[in-house]
Amino acid sequence: MLRSAEAITTADRHEETFLARYERLLGWALQLTGGDREQAEDLVHDAFIQFTFSRPDLAAIHNLDGYLYTVLRNLRLSQLRRRQHPVGRSLSALEYDSAELSLRSVDPRDQIRVQDELRQICRYACLRKETSKAGSVLLLRFMLGYYPREIAEIMRATRQAAEERLRVARGEARLFLENPAGLHFIGSRDAVSVGPEGYARTTEELLHDLRRAVFNSCRGDCLTAARLAELYSGANESAVEAETLAHIVSCPRCLDAVNRLLGLPLLAERYPTDTLGTDTRPKGGGGGGGTSGAGREQAARRCRRRARETFEHRPRELRISVNGYVMASQSVGAPLSEQELSVAADERIDFVEVLSEQEVRLLFLCVDEPPPAGPHSRSVKVELSEGRHLEATLSFSSPWPTVRIAYSDPEAEVTAATREQHAAVESSLSSPAAASSVPAQADEAAGGVTGRRRVWRRLAGTLADALRGLARPGFWLRPGPLTAAMSLVIVCAALLYFRWHEPTVSAAQLLARSTAAEQAAAADAGLVLHRTISLEARRPGAVTPVRSRIEVWQSAARGEKVRRVYDEQGRLLAGVWESSGGAATVYRRGGPARKEADAAPALLSADDIWRVDLSADDFSALVGGATGVSAEERADGYVLSHAGRPGAMRPRVARATLVLSKADLRAIEQTLVVEGPEGEREYRFVETGFSRQRAASVDPAVFRPEPELSGDSRGTEGRSGDAAPSGVATGQPTAADASVSAGTPAVASAELEIEVNYLLDQIRANLGEQVTVGRTTGGKLRVEALVETERRKEEILRALGPVLNNPAVVAQVSTVEEAVRRQKSKATDARGEDVEEVDVETRRIPADDDLRRHFSARLADGARIDEEIERFAQRQMGRSRQALMHANALRQLAARFSPEEVRSLAPEARAKWQTMIRQHARGYREQVSALRRELRAVFSPGASGEADADGVGDETLRRDAERLLRLSYAHDEAVRAAFTLSDAARAPVALRSQQFWRSLAAAEALAEAMEAAHRERRE
């Protein structure tokens, strides 16, 4: 980012002023943290960041040391309060910008778990870099502290390409954490050592271990200076190859050479040099630190590095905190995000902060003198990377102090395609009218109650102190005891008043204020409202809900409100266009458009539930007003509940809850239990994105119907604009899987779902092939299959023949060739860059010695021994894989229906379901029994491996199937590790351990018990 000479001079002056006092500030921070040096350094670094970012007028600060001490004290208070009152969901280690940031932000109680996760992430990236650039990018960003712009320069690619690689790497690493054996393309899994797991090290020690593991994973010869100069010359426009990039990122010498060529900071400037050696600094308590000479320069490097992290950090969410308490939050997704809120605080406002979802403090506004001694408003603006800036203004001109936050990110322009892919974004770009009215209404509802509670707590504390004073010896001998007693009586009276006259939250008032806030926001002609809502539809007791996504656009200037619904695959199913006059036009994919008037009973049907608005107004209409609605206050919002209104009409709302955000009283979650002719269904609406966008920046196309809805294109099954793929079979004239004919919608019963799975099971289509059975938004069954040959495709369609004419079944079966042909135009160049191959330095498998010793007892010919070893290894890996597929099929069958649903099945359907359970349990047991018998002869001749399983049945089937699948994954990984060619052939073989044999016997016994339980029920 370019800055003027004056700005650079000002920044340098603030930096020098702060670093000159570093020793003194560190000594104060050690006192504040009770001698904890790591926390004390964090405080000083945070103070350096905010002091150099905000750049207060030094001439206006009368006592600079006192000002900096106040900043440290407030930062410490914020640190303690946020630790006691965490806000939002906890992030996994992968969701932070870097390993160092995740270690700084994690709860101390989770240190061991997070550090083990980081070791696994490092192991994944070191392995993956050899076959994909994604691994190298993750190492640069997450382990070595490079930023996306810098990574793009090292890759010789665009920043967007670097961030896409990073996104892919994070997704793969997440899968690697869940199941390391699941990413078979990574290759050898024993080549990277990242230190022992199961215990916590200091942050610097762990970072040292991780970076040492990265550099130890380097392969190949270093690049010559001429080769590097050629790669990074201005004339070369080609990207760096994956193998070359893998070497550069794991070789300190080559990486620093690239840094010099590109003018990037060296490794020594990215993290302290002492983390690559022994840390000689004192731990725990101690004095001020004695930083002089090299120590002072090292401290300066640490401060600058932390400031650079904050400068480059791109928040996904902004959290506004006052005096250490988070008051509001909003997601970032527009070029300009603004929020204004009133603060009803009983204590004076000392500081305001803006933090990201990763707990990175982006802005700190310190209030040394509030009115009347100080000014009526305070403002701080900080400049961030790539033209971004964040500004906070605290105003005391209103009855309640007002905080206004504005964050500008020119590159955050969100296109419609990006919104669909990432499920929208959240921001609060409020107009002045809405900004001043909505927070005030929220504070009126929330601030009054919480304020009185704080007063009550203070009075209670005062009373306790007074009673302790009365009990002190000699109190009644001192002057003024009568006055003290009268004061005590006054305190007691005030305490009783506030305790028994504390007002309760009124549901009627909350609904009225929320409705008023909704109407005020929707009436601003200069803005367009955009909401993204997740809808889950579930039958009572069902394990897997049917999910869909709802997009709502509303413009006061156009007088239109548009609602679209998409299925889980992102396909547009239907939409409704409403005018301000109340007229509505409904479009459904594959059906004609029609105009109709909304009616609550019609909206509650399975086909129309998506038209219910997530709002206080619709909630009131559905439950018949505020009568009978109860309200509960929570830390971040209000929960309104209603038990439903009686009546014979079906469908009707049996139960309903609505959650209002405390920040602005906006409806953010709603649950409806609807009672209809087919029984109860539960619908859960959750707001996943909300933004107020300037009308001029919104594409008018969002208010026009798509061709697949309006009927301008034909055959839009599959992806928008494509012809219907071959292999699509339905029971309707159209291919749309959300039927919208005028009659009663076809909804698949549980019996039909079992029949479809049973037919597929008979041809073993659920053992390793890409065949899925799910439900559409309307409740139909969707069968999708991707097979290798045309013959297999015909076999699956033939097996499904008895149900293909059922209107509640939609089947799409394609060969790989057909799928590639459809996707060819959408293929990206990046796909061809990853080389997924393993460099094998030896042709022997880790179990070679055991097998050679076993077969040598009866064979003398070396060639025959090699053949037997190869056949034995292939046979055991095949059995292990077959057992794993049976376990996965069992898990899917067990998770598909709850015990209540199984008991309510028709006898024939229940018998078929039990038959599938029994067959897969038997198949699993047979494969594991043969595997155990042959392995035992080689690796553990004396092992019996007998084990018993606890009783199983319908109630525990899901739990038992999950356990069986976990055991199977572990067994399959052990078998493949022993029999797969590897460059670590001398590694220990897990098949020799008693733990493996006990686990294998336990899995076999569990499968046998599952088979027996369902055989008994059948008989």
How much is the pLDDT for 373? 53
pLDDT band at 151 (very low <50, low <70, confident <90, very high): very high
Q: Cα(243)–Cα(128) distance, rounded to whole angstroms?
A: 11
Q: What is the mean pLDDT of residues 164-178?
A: 85
Which token pair is 393?
Answer: 């203004």
Q: Cα(886)–Cα(964) distance, rounded to whole angstroms?
A: 10
**Helix (DSSP H) and strand (DSSP E) numbers for the chain:** 32, 23
User: Are 223 and 213 spatial neighbours (Cβ–Cβ below 8 Å)?
Assistant: no
Strand partners, 404: 340, 393
The total number of residues shown for the chain amounts to 1019
User: Are 218 and 243 spatial neighbours (Cβ–Cβ below 8 Å)?
Assistant: no
Please indicate whether residue 739 or residue 575 has the higher confidence score (pLDDT). Answer: 575
- Residue 450 neighbours by CB under 8 Å, 6+ apart: 344
Residue 791, pLDDT above cutoff 60: yes
Q: What is the mean pLDDT of residues 724-740?
A: 36
In 3D space, the residue among 649, 591, 585 whose CA is nearest the CA of residue 622 turns out to be 649
Q: What is the mean pLDDT of residues 37-41?
A: 85
Q: Answer yes or no: pTM beyond 0.75.
A: no
Burial string for 951-965 (b: 16+ CB within 10 Å, else e) reads ebebebbbebbebbb
pLDDT 10s digits, 68-89: 888 998 898 888 887 776 665 5
CA atoms within 13 A on the CB side of 52: 27
How much is the pLDDT for 561? 92
Residue 477, pLDDT above cutoff 80: no
Look up residue 321 and give its DSSP letter: E
Q: How far is CA 342 from CA 38, 61, 331, 373, 685, in A?
A: 36, 28, 19, 21, 28
User: Are 773 and 760 spatial neighbours (Cβ–Cβ below 8 Å)?
Assistant: yes
Q: What is the mean pLDDT of residues 584-610?
A: 74
Sign of CA dihedral 291, 297, 298, 302: positive
How much is the pLDDT for 837? 40
Please state whether the peptide bond connecting residue 503 to the residue before it is cis, i.e. omega within 30 degrees of 0. no
574, containing H or E segment:
strand 572-579
Strand partners, 321: 326, 353
Q: Cα(700)–Cα(695) distance, rounded to whole angstroms?
A: 9
| Percent of the chain surpassing pLDDT 90 | 8
- Tell me the pLDDT of the chain averaged across its residues: 75
Q: Cα(210)–Cα(687) distance, rounded to whole angstroms?
A: 39
How much is the pLDDT for 107? 67
Q: What is the mean pLDDT of residues 98-104?
A: 81
User: Are 430 and 338 spatial neighbours (Cβ–Cβ below 8 Å)?
Assistant: yes
How much is the pLDDT for 362? 92
How much is the pLDDT for 363? 92
User: How remote is the C-alpha of 236 from its chain's centroid?
Assistant: 39
Which token pair is 473?
Answer: 């010896």
pLDDT 10s digits, 802-832: 888 787 888 888 876 776 665 554 444 434 4
pLDDT band at 796 (very low <50, low <70, confident <90, very high): confident
How much is the pLDDT for 776? 66
In 3D space, the residue among 976, 880, 931 whose CA is nearest the CA of residue 190 turns out to be 976
Look up residue 275 and give its DSSP letter: G
pLDDT band at 328 (very low <50, low <70, confident <90, very high): confident
Residue 297, pLDDT above cutoff 60: yes
Residues 892/896/902/904 CA torsion (nearest 10 deg): -160
How much is the pLDDT for 537? 87
Q: What is the mean pLDDT of residues 972-980?
A: 82
Please indicate whether residue 478 or residue 863 has the higher confidence score (pLDDT). Answer: 863
- Residue 567 neighbours by CB under 8 Å, 6+ apart: 548, 573, 737, 738, 776, 777
Which token pair is 91?
Answer: 């992030």
Residue 256, pLDDT above cutoff 70: yes
Q: What is the mean pLDDT of residues 958-983?
A: 81
pLDDT 10s digits, 638-672: 899 988 655 555 678 888 999 998 777 889 999 99
Helix (H, G, I), strand (E, B), or coil: what is residue 8? helix
How much is the pLDDT for 282? 43
Helix (H, G, I), strand (E, B), or coil: what is residue 471? helix
CA atoms within 13 A on the CB side of 228: 19
Please indicate whether residue 107 or residue 571 has the higher confidence score (pLDDT). Answer: 571
How much is the pLDDT for 6? 45
Angle at which helices 862-896 and 848-856 cross, to 10°: 120
Look up residue 724 and give its DSSP letter: P
Residue 253, pLDDT above cutoff 90: yes
Please indicate whether residue 740 or residue 222 has the higher confidence score (pLDDT). Answer: 222
Residue 1001, pLDDT above cutoff 50: yes
How much is the pLDDT for 184? 61
Q: Cα(910)–Cα(897) distance, rounded to whole angstroms?
A: 11
Q: What is the mean pLDDT of residues 853-872?
A: 85
Q: Cα(899)–Cα(1011) distance, rounded to whole angstroms?
A: 17
pLDDT band at 769 (very low <50, low <70, confident <90, very high): low
Q: Cα(475)–Cα(468) distance, rounded to whole angstroms?
A: 10
pLDDT band at 48 (very low <50, low <70, confident <90, very high): very high
Q: What is the mean pLDDT of residues 336-355?
A: 79
How much is the pLDDT for 437? 35
User: Are 337 and 309 spatial neighbours (Cβ–Cβ below 8 Å)?
Assistant: no
Q: Cα(431)–Cα(437) distance, rounded to whole angstroms?
A: 10
Q: Cα(294)–Cα(272) distance, rounded to whole angstroms?
A: 12
Strand partners, 527: 694
Q: Cα(1006)–Cα(966) distance, rounded to whole angstroms?
A: 12
Residue 1015 burial class via C-beta count within 10 angstroms: exposed 0-12, middle 13-18, buried 19 and up: middle
| Count of Cβ atoms closer than 10 Å to residue 455 Cβ | 16
Which amino acid is present at 508?
A
Query: ∠ CA 405-430-397 to the nearest 5 degrees?
Result: 55
pLDDT 10s digits, 516-528: 888 888 888 888 8
| Count of Cβ atoms closer than 10 Å to residue 825 Cβ | 7
- Region of poorest pLDDT, from 94-103, 212-221, 834-843, 870-879: 834-843
| Count of Cβ atoms closer than 10 Å to residue 343 Cβ | 21
How much is the pLDDT for 346? 59
Return the residue matching tokens 């033939």.
798
Residue 255, pLDDT above cutoff 90: yes
How much is the pLDDT for 115? 85
- Region of poorest pLDDT, from 95-104, 161-170, 549-558: 95-104
- Region of poorest pLDDT, from 264-268, 568-572, 724-728, 868-872: 724-728
User: How remote is the C-alpha of 434 from its chain's centroid?
Assistant: 30
Q: What is the mean pLDDT of residues 711-721?
A: 40
Please indicate whether residue 418 or residue 505 has the higher confidence score (pLDDT). Answer: 505
Q: What is the mean pLDDT of residues 302-320?
A: 88
How much is the pLDDT for 697? 66
pLDDT band at 726 (very low <50, low <70, confident <90, very high): very low
